[in-house]
Structure 1
Amino acid sequence: MAENSTHGIRADEPADIGRRVLRMRTERGLTQKQLAEPAYTAAYVSTLEAGKVRPSETALRHLAGRLGITLEELATGRPPHLATELRLRLTDARRVLSTGEAEDAAVRYRALRAEAAGHTLVSEEATAVQGLGDCALETGDLVAARDHFAEVERLLADEPLPRRVPAVRGRATAHLLAGELRYACYLLESTVDELNAAGLHDPDALLLLYTAVIAPYMDMGAHARAAHAAELALALAPQVDNPALVASMHRGVARTLIAEGRIAEADASLAKAQELYQQLHIRTELAHCHWMRGYVYAQDGDLRKAESELRTARDMLASKKAPLFTVQVEVELADVLRRRGKAAEAEDLLRPLLSPSALGAERGAVHAGGAHRLLGLIAEERSDTEAAEEHYCAALSLLERTGAAGDLADLCRLLGDLLRRTGRTDAALDAYRTGLGHRAAPGTTTLGPAPAAPPLWRP
Structure 2
Amino acid sequence: MADRSAGDGRTAGTVTGAAGAESTAELGRRVLRLRTERGFTQRQLAEPAYTAAYVSTLEAGKVRPSEAALRHLADRLGVSYEELTTGRSPRDATRLRAALTDARRALATGAAEDATGLFEEVRDEAERLGFAEERSAALLGLGDCALETGELTLARDHFEDVERLLAGEPLPRRIPAIRGRAVAHLLAGELRYSCYLLESAIDELNASGLHDPYALLLLYTAAIAPYMDMGAHARAVRAAELALALAPSVDDPGLIARMHRGVARTLIAEGRTAEADASLAKAQELYEQLRIHTDLAHCHWMRGYVHAQDGNLERAERELRTARDMLASKRAALFTVQVEVELADVLRRRGRTAEAEALLLPLLARSPAPEPVDAPGPVETPEPATAPGAAPGPMTAPGGPGVTADEAGLTAERGAVHAGGAHRLLGLIADERGDVEAAEEHYCAALSLLERTGAAGDLADLCRLLGDLLRREGRLEAAMDAYRTGLGHRAAPGTTTLGPAPAEPPM
TM interval, short-chain normalised = over 0.9
Deviation of the 1:407 alpha carbon = 2.3
Q: For the Cα contact (< 8 Å) 2:344–2:356, is it kept in 1?
A: yes
Asked if 1:293 is matched to 2:303, the reply is yes
Residue equivalent to 2:503: 452
Asked if 1:429 is matched to 2:439, the reply is no
Deviation of the 1:39 alpha carbon = 1.4
Percent sequence identity over aligned pairs = 77
Asked if 1:379 is matched to 2:442, the reply is no
Distance in 1 of aligned mates of 2:225 and 2:298 = 13
Asked if 1:76 is matched to 2:86, the reply is yes
Q: Which of the numbers 363, 366, 376 marks the counterpart of 2:417?
A: 366
Q: 203-212 or 355-364, which moves further after superposition?
A: 355-364
Once superposed, what is the RMSD of the aligned Cα atoms? 1.6
Distance in 2 of aligned mates of 1:106 and 1:261 = 40
Distance in 2 of aligned mates of 1:3 and 1:80 = 24
Q: For the Cα contact (< 8 Å) 1:406–1:439, is it kept in 2?
A: no
Structure ranking higher in helix proportion: 1
Deviation of the 1:115 alpha carbon = 0.4
Residue equivalent to 2:402: none
Deviation of the 1:74 alpha carbon = 1.6
Structure 2: 5+ residue runs without aligned partners?
1-12, 368-407
SS of the counterpart of 1:449?
A: coil
Distance in 1 of aligned mates of 2:242 and 2:85 = 46
Asked if 1:352 is matched to 2:403, the reply is no
Letter in 2 for 1:97: L
The verdict on how the C-alpha distance between 1:166 and 1:426 changes in structure 2, with shifts beyond 3 A counting, is: same
Distance in 2 of aligned mates of 1:100 and 1:168 = 23
Deviation of the 1:137 alpha carbon = 0.4
Q: 394-403 or 442-451, which moves further after superposition?
A: 442-451
Q: For the Cα contact (< 8 Å) 1:399–1:407, is it kept in 2?
A: no
Distance in 2 of aligned mates of 1:413 and 1:176 = 26
Q: Which of the numbers 42, 57, 64 marks the counterpart of 1:32?
A: 42
Asked if 1:310 is matched to 2:320, the reply is yes
Deviation of the 1:406 alpha carbon = 2.6
Q: Which of the numbers 439, 445, 467 marks the counterpart of 1:388?
A: 439
Deviation of the 1:10 alpha carbon = 6.9
Q: TM-score, normalised by structure 1?
A: 0.96
Distance in 2 of aligned mates of 1:446 and 1:109 = 38
SS of the counterpart of 1:405?
A: coil
Deviation of the 1:411 alpha carbon = 1.2
Q: For the Cα contact (< 8 Å) 1:152–1:164, is it kept in 2?
A: yes
Deviation of the 1:34 alpha carbon = 1.5
Q: 121-130 or 352-361, which moves further after superposition?
A: 352-361
Deviation of the 1:182 alpha carbon = 0.2
SS of the counterpart of 1:433?
A: helix
Q: For the Cα contact (< 8 Å) 2:14–2:65, is it kept in 1?
A: no
Distance in 1 of aligned mates of 2:185 and 2:145 = 15
The verdict on how the C-alpha distance between 1:437 and 1:197 changes in structure 2, with shifts beyond 3 A counting, is: same
Distance in 1 of aligned mates of 2:52 and 2:270 = 79
Q: For the Cα contact (< 8 Å) 1:178–1:364, is it kept in 2?
A: yes
Q: For the Cα contact (< 8 Å) 1:253–1:269, is it kept in 2?
A: yes
Q: Which of the numbers 15, 22, 28 marks the counterpart of 1:18?
A: 28
Distance in 2 of aligned mates of 1:452 and 1:88 = 39
Distance in 2 of aligned mates of 1:395 and 1:100 = 31
Residue equivalent to 1:60: 70
Distance in 1 of aligned mates of 2:469 and 2:174 = 49
SS of the counterpart of 1:73?
A: helix
Residue equivalent to 1:223: 233
The verdict on how the C-alpha distance between 1:59 and 1:443 changes in structure 2, with shifts beyond 3 A counting, is: farther
SS of the counterpart of 1:66?
A: helix
Letter in 2 for 1:145: A
Letter in 2 for 1:438: H
Q: Which of the numbers 236, 249, 257 marks the counterpart of 2:246?
A: 236
Q: For the Cα contact (< 8 Å) 1:134–1:145, is it kept in 2?
A: yes
Deviations 1:370-411 (A, max 9, x none): 000001101111111111001101111100001112322221
Deviations 1:217-250 (A, max 9, x none): 0000000010010010011011111111111110
What is the correspondence of 1:47-446 to structure 2 with a 5 Å cutoff?
A: 47-354=57-364, 355-356=366-367, 357-442=408-493, 444-446=495-497
Deviation of the 1:437 alpha carbon = 2.8
Q: For the Cα contact (< 8 Å) 2:14–2:64, is it kept in 1?
A: no
Q: TM-score, normalised by structure 2?
A: 0.87
Q: 377-386 or 46-55, which moves further after superposition?
A: 46-55
* Structure 1 moving runs of 4+ over 3 Å: 2-6, 8-11, 26-29, 438-445
Q: For the Cα contact (< 8 Å) 1:405–1:442, is it kept in 2?
A: no
Distance in 2 of aligned mates of 1:425 and 1:96 = 57
